[in-house]
């Protein structure tokens, strides 16, 4: 029986030189490492130990001509492996699961591994990830190089993603004219947050709504959606208003067709708070649809970032070598994607699924089939 994961690495260039010391096939190394991280391994020694323990399982699918690689071999290969190409290999695999599902929302956001020092704007290893929020899949990632920040690598990530049929959501750091143009050139749509840290753009968005309110929306093409949420001791009201092609929308924004205002009022323990956010969109969707995309952007925090820290301990990772750190980060993101989609009992959590995959080989195969199945 073929292992779908093995095909993911078929075209991935091997970074090692052809020498007599090159004993292990690249696919063998990457498959074992991916399964090991998915099943609970957190260090190179863990990965090697897992491989040796499960060698009989892996021999059902892999040649393993020289057995299971050592911890040092895993570390050396991941330190040499091109992180961008590695992420692309996984991204292509996971993108296939998003086909035919309508407009796919893709949230792009960065996350730091605080315990892995680096000469970046955050002072540590930082990875910017593309996360399909509805499909709960990692579509790609780029590590921030030394001397740079999240904003600087977003275009690099956009260029390697398949954006046809996607709507990309970005927070204010990614609200750039160049990003909007790049997304549209790649046949995607965008929903970009406009905040006060960009005063000119923010003032334009606020002004467009003030003008519409001044005439009580007379002659202004618009849509509004309001929803309420009462649970866990809180009351929340969300109001979304969309202006379609309003006069005064800057021409520099490629394909911009709508400006979105999201107002949220929350009452918790009789304390009332309210916020207003603005977005620029190339997709002229309904207020309900665009409001859902805006709210869904933060699914990357709960659906990915939180799990990476709490379940996989990413914030405590001390891998210092840049390539190795970025590649290990990708393995963790793949594991989250697979486990979030894996079958399980109604109350089965991601940590429980991770343990079960380590205990039960048949269940591990079910998890790995989660993308293509």
Q: Are 187 and 260 in contact (CB under 8 A)?
A: no
**What band does 311 get if pLDDT is binned at 50, 70 and 90?**
confident
Task: Give the side-chain half-sphere CA count within 13 A for 368.
Answer: 25
pLDDT beyond 90 at 351: yes
Q: Where are the domains of the chain?
A: 172-294
Q: Cβ neighbours of residue 47 under 8 Å, at least 6 residues apart?
A: 32, 33, 36, 37, 41, 71, 74
pLDDT beyond 70 at 349: yes
Structure tokens given for 189: 């749509």
Average pLDDT value for the chain: 90
pLDDT beyond 80 at 371: no
CA gap 273, 269 in Å, rounded: 11
What are the angstrom distances between the C-alpha of 113 and each of 135, 168, 323? 24, 24, 14
pLDDT at residue 47, rounded to an integer = 97
Min mean pLDDT across 87-101, 280-294, 329-343 is at 87-101
CA gap 22, 38 in Å, rounded: 26
CA gap 301, 109 in Å, rounded: 9
> Per mean pLDDT, which of 175-184, 248-257, 312-321 is the most reliable?
175-184
Distance of CA 371 to the CA centre of its chain: 16
Helices (H), the chain: 4-8, 26-38, 44-53, 55-58, 71-80, 83-95, 150-160, 177-185, 199-214, 287-296, 299-300, 306-310, 322-341, 350-359, 361-368
What are the angstrom distances between the C-alpha of 181 and each of 6, 153, 155, 184? 36, 15, 10, 5
Give me the mean pLDDT over the 293-319 stretch.
Answer: 86
Structure tokens given for 10: 């078929």
pLDDT beyond 90 at 234: no
Give me the mean pLDDT over the 158-171 stretch.
Answer: 93
What are the angstrom distances between the C-alpha of 294 and each of 75, 146, 161, 209, 341? 39, 31, 20, 18, 23
pLDDT at residue 372, rounded to an integer = 54
End-to-end CA distance of the chain: 14
Give me the mean pLDDT over the 351-356 stretch.
Answer: 94
pTM for this prediction: 0.85
Structure tokens given for 313: 């301990």
Q: Are 129 and 108 in contact (CB under 8 A)?
A: yes
CA gap 145, 147 in Å, rounded: 6
Give me the mean pLDDT over the 146-151 stretch.
Answer: 86
For the purposes of burial, counting CB atoms within 10 Å of the CB of 126, is it exposed (0-12), middle (13-18) or buried (19 or more)? buried
pLDDT beyond 80 at 98: no
CA gap 47, 35 in Å, rounded: 9
Say which residue the tokens 């299971």 belong to. Answer: 68
Q: Identify which has the larger pLDDT, 351 or 373.
A: 351
Nearest in space to 223 (alpha carbons), one of 302, 301, 283: 283
Min mean pLDDT across 76-90, 128-142, 193-207, 225-239 is at 225-239
pLDDT beyond 70 at 100: no
CA gap 108, 154 in Å, rounded: 8
Give me the mean pLDDT over the 211-236 stretch.
Answer: 89
DSSP 14: P
pLDDT beyond 90 at 207: yes
Task: Give the side-chain half-sphere CA count within 13 A for 167.
Answer: 25
CA gap 124, 130 in Å, rounded: 20
User: Residue 239 forms beta bridges with which residues?
Assistant: 226, 263
Residue 102 phi, psi (nearest 5): 85, -160
pLDDT beyond 70 at 188: yes
For the purposes of burial, counting CB atoms within 10 Å of the CB of 63, is it exposed (0-12), middle (13-18) or buried (19 or more)? exposed
């Amino acid at each position: 029986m073929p292992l779908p994961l093995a095909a993911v690495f078929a075209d991935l260039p091997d970074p090692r030189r052809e020498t007599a010391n090159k004993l292990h096939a690249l696919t063998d190394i990457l498959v074992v490492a991916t399964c090991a991280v998915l099943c609970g391994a957190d260090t190179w020694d863990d990965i090697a130990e897992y491989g040796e323990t499960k060698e009989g399982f892996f021999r059902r699918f892999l040649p393993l001509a020289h057995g299971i690689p050592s911890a040092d071999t895993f570390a050396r290969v991941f330190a040499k492996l091109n992180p961008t190409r590695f992420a692309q290999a996984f991204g292509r695999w996971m993108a296939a699961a998003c086909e035919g599902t309508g407009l796919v929302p893709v949230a792009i956001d960065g996350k730091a591994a605080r315990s892995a020092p680096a000469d970046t704007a955050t002072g540590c290893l930082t990875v910017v990830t593309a996360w399909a929020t509805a499909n709960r899949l990692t579509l790609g990632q780029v590590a921030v190089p030394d001397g740079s920040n999240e904003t600087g690598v977003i275009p690099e990530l956009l260029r390697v993603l398949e954006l046809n049929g996607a709507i990309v959501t970005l927070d204010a750091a990614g609200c750039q004219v160049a990003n909007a143009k790049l997304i549209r050139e790649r046949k995607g749509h965008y929903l970009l947050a406009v905040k006060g840290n960009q005063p000119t753009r923010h003032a334009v968005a606020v002004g467009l709504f003030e003008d519409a309110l001044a005439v009580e929306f007379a002659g202004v093409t618009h849509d509004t959606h309001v929803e309420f949420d009462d649970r866990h001791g809180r009351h929340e009201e969300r109001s979304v208003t969309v202006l379609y092609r309003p006069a005064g929308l800057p021409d520099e924004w490629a394909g911009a067709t709508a400006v979105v205002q999201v107002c949220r009022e929350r009452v918790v323990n009789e304390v009332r708070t309210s916020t207003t956010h603005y977005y620029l969109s190339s997709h002229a969707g309904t207020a309900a649809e665009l409001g859902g995309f805006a709210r869904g952007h933060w699914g990357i925090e709960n659906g990915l970032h939180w799990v990476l820290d709490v379940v996989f301990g990413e914030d405590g990772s001390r891998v210092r070598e840049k390539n190795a750190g970025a590649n290990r980060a990708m393995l963790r993101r793949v594991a989250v994607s697979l486990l979030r989609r894996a079958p399980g009992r109604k109350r089965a959590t991601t940590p429980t699924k991770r343990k079960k995959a380590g205990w039960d080989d048949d269940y591990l195969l079910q998890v790995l089939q989660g993308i293509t199945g």
